[in-house]
Structure 1
Amino acid sequence: MRPVIVDAARTPFGRRAGWLDTVHAVELLGHAQRGVLARTGLDPDLVEQVIGGCVTPLAEQFGNVTRTAWMHAGLPSLTGATTIDAQCGTAAQATALLAGQIAMGAVDVGMACGVEMMSHVPLTYKVGTGLGTPRPASWSIDSPDQYTGADRIAANRGLTRTDLDAYGLRSQQRAAAAWDTHRFDAQIVPVTVVDEDGGSRVVTRDQGLRETSMEALARLAPVKEGGLHTAGTSSQVSDGASAALLMAEDRARELGHRPRARIVGQAVVGGDTTYLLDGPIAAAERVLSRTGLSIADIDHFEVNEAFASVPMSFARVHGVPEELLNPLGGAIALGHPAGATGIRLIATAIEELERRDAQLAMVAICASAATTCLVLERL
């Protein structure tokens, strides 16, 4: 059976301790799950499996947060639920895994999703325990932290602090222009939150956008002493959730749903331990080889802006036209709730293909051990 994406949506992304801070992770993910069902009018009883992602399954995100959110949202208990951690590509990997289950005939209707409340459960909760702790005497893994890896990528590609700052400014400007022209509206599931006065407000927009300039960015101190990346050229600590509805194509049409896209090819690779986050380059090469496509065939690129050097390195190596790379900005401006970002990128890619009447998009998300890349075809 051919798996298709019927819809993909997300909550707005909030800053650390910002607009979404009063929402529990389970509530936020359940809101995204219910939101996609409401947008499509699908009977929840038809959803056979939900695969969700969370990079730091601790505290309020502990355990099978996908199942907890589904049940808390009052959705059918018969639906199976699985939670995975594939680092920053988690939601995209959840989507690919679900598509694989549909392709093998195990599922007709399913949902992929992801959440990260980084205000409540920082990634440092997991990092702070120490990789592999307690470590065996034979421990031999040597891997840099993400900031060191990102700076190494920049140095390796000859990217200067000014180059990175210019990219950070570009992300903010493009994201602001996209919001001003309503290009994110269609993917947003609004969230009602408690405000500072005990009342309520509806959040409909990402909180991370900032008015800035090259002069302001130049004044920011590097995150690492002697480094190149700053808070202005790194993805933001964010809160958010996302969800996508997938079906077997025949089943979708039987139920009256128009398929929007399908996954043409997908790959997951580990990152070089020296540079850590440069994996999208190799992942893209693998996907292109498998599909017989070339970079010139791709109409739109979403390369996650974990750090400015990551999409810049990708574009330099693969010769990606500047206007096709993250044309609506990215995680530097919009935020990066790690478990949810993958579907945010997928939703943006699908909508841009539809808006431009284009055919193929590539989504790539760096991670130290699970870099994810996939190609989407608009249907």
Structure 2
Amino acid sequence: MTTAVIVDAIRTPSGRGKPGGALSGEHPVDLLAVVLRSLVDRHDLDPTTIDDVMAGCVTQSGMQAVNIARNAVLAAGLPETVPGTTIDRQCGSSQQAAHFAAQSIMAGVNDVVIACGIELMSSHPIGQATLGYGTTSSLLNDRYPAGLVNQGISAELIAARWGLDRDDLDVFAALSHARASAADFSNEILPIGEFNHDETIRPGTTAEGLSGLGPAFYDAEIAARFPEIQWRVTAGNSSPLTDGASAVLIMSEERTAALGLRPLARFHSFAVVGSDPIEMLTGIIPATHRVLERSGIRLDQLDSIEVNEAFASVALAWLQEFPVDPTIVNPRGGAIALGHALGSSGTRLLTTLVNQLDSTGGRYGLQVMCEGGGMANATLIERL
């Protein structure tokens, strides 16, 4: 089987996903195009050799509609012969793009693929693409007559099930900001104009300061339906709305060598699972078990782990289930500080993981991502 390797991984800085955010004036097609063009130019890559561009994007409406991957390819000035496709696996969309890209190379179908992601939440808020959703499927309503819930409620259910109190969540959130504030992201960030830092990081954040925030998702009907919820999830211990794009250049090992390029890591193993769509965010636990079983790698062999911090309760539940040194989990901070630009988050986490392994000399890295609707992706890479 052909080996698929990561040659480069870059991302934009994280912008606040609201009007006035540093990236809010960008067109999402242009923002993704800048990242694609930079990835090609950094290696003097002949763009005619790119077999495909696979982009994650969750809100595929408005400026992000009509296959944003293809539009970004054209906007980047890449040859018209380069195709593009857009993937929606909710929060794990670009992680799935990386899976599909690597798997196409491992199968011998492609040699050079860019996996990427984009989300401009300042202009494409959650829910924009859901007009009419849930009103036509009688079969889905029959299966879940009480109705599905939003991810904030799922985060509350996880906090209740794993016995996480408010202080646990706020302490973890403050740690995310502290780690991100101390980290050096210069090797992975592509400046957009003069904007060259993550706008979502809040240095000096403390658990005490976060403790004054009220619950973000309280709903009286939900409270009656789930009396176990204690309403501990706030804006402070959740990931913020974010704008951003990211991309990973993936090649066959043979093509990388022929071009004289240095591979950073290889794709080792993959997993994707479905999980309860009510609790929704717990799929990272079976996904982790599955990818470790398939890879033959033990938990104690992992040198760095990225667990997407959609909510503090999700990462803390994962940490309760897996006895690892907590200092190797999100060592540069996570989405609570660095933001969660939905469609971009998968390749953003992969970018951070690759750079962390490269800077520390670690060998194995794991990335897991919870996803809307009750799914999760897991990716295991090996630094070269």
How does the TM-score come out when normalised to structure 1? 0.94
CA distance in 2 between counterparts of 1:252 and 1:322 reads 34
Give the superposition deviation at 1:128: 5.2
CA offsets, 1:287-312, max 9 Å, x none?
01111112111111100000001111
Paired residues for 1:74-93 under 5 Å: 74-93=77-96
The alignment partner of 2:25 has SS state of: coil
Give the superposition deviation at 1:102: 0.7
1:148 aligns with 2:149: no
CA offsets, 1:114-168, max 9 Å, x none?
100011111221345433x323366223432111110111111111001000001
CA distance in 2 between counterparts of 1:30 and 1:237 reads 21
The alignment partner of 1:19 has SS state of: coil
CA distance in 1 between counterparts of 2:197 and 2:261 reads 27
Match of 1:199 in 2: none
Match of 1:234 in 2: 238
The alignment partner of 1:231 has SS state of: coil
| Aligned residues of 2:279 and 2:374 also touching (Cα < 8 A) | no
CA distance in 2 between counterparts of 1:188 and 1:165 reads 27
Give the superposition deviation at 1:74: 1.2
Q: 1:135 aligns with which of 131, 134, 137?
A: 137
Give the superposition deviation at 1:73: 1.6
The alignment of Structure 1 onto Structure 2 pairs a total of residues equal to 365
Q: 1:203 aligns with which of 186, 189, 195?
A: 195
| Aligned residues of 2:174 and 2:207 also touching (Cα < 8 A) | yes
CA distance in 1 between counterparts of 2:331 and 2:131 reads 35
Give structure 1 regions of 4+ aligned residues with deviation exceeding 6 angstroms: none
Change (3 A) 1:137 1:377: closer
CA distance in 2 between counterparts of 1:59 and 1:137 reads 29
CA distance in 1 between counterparts of 2:136 and 2:276 reads 24
CA distance in 2 between counterparts of 1:73 and 1:338 reads 22
Match of 2:275 in 1: 271
The alignment partner of 1:185 has SS state of: coil
Q: 2:210 aligns with which of 217, 220, 244?
A: 217
Unaligned runs of 5+ residues in structure 1 are: 193-201
1:316 aligns with 2:317: no
For 1:222, the aligned partner's letter is P
Match of 1:157 in 2: 162
CA distance in 2 between counterparts of 1:117 and 1:129 reads 22
Match of 2:222 in 1: none
How does the TM-score come out when normalised to structure 2? 0.92
For 1:224, the aligned partner's letter is F
For 1:57, the aligned partner's letter is Q
The alignment partner of 2:378 has SS state of: strand
Change (3 A) 1:283 1:223: same
Paired residues for 1:1-379 under 5 Å: 1-16=2-17, 17=19, 18-127=21-130, 129-131=132-134, 133-136=135-138, 139=141, 140-141=143-144, 142-178=147-183, 183-192=184-193, 202-210=194-202, 211-225=204-218, 227-367=231-371, 368-379=373-384
Match of 2:223 in 1: none
CA distance in 1 between counterparts of 2:326 and 2:3 reads 33
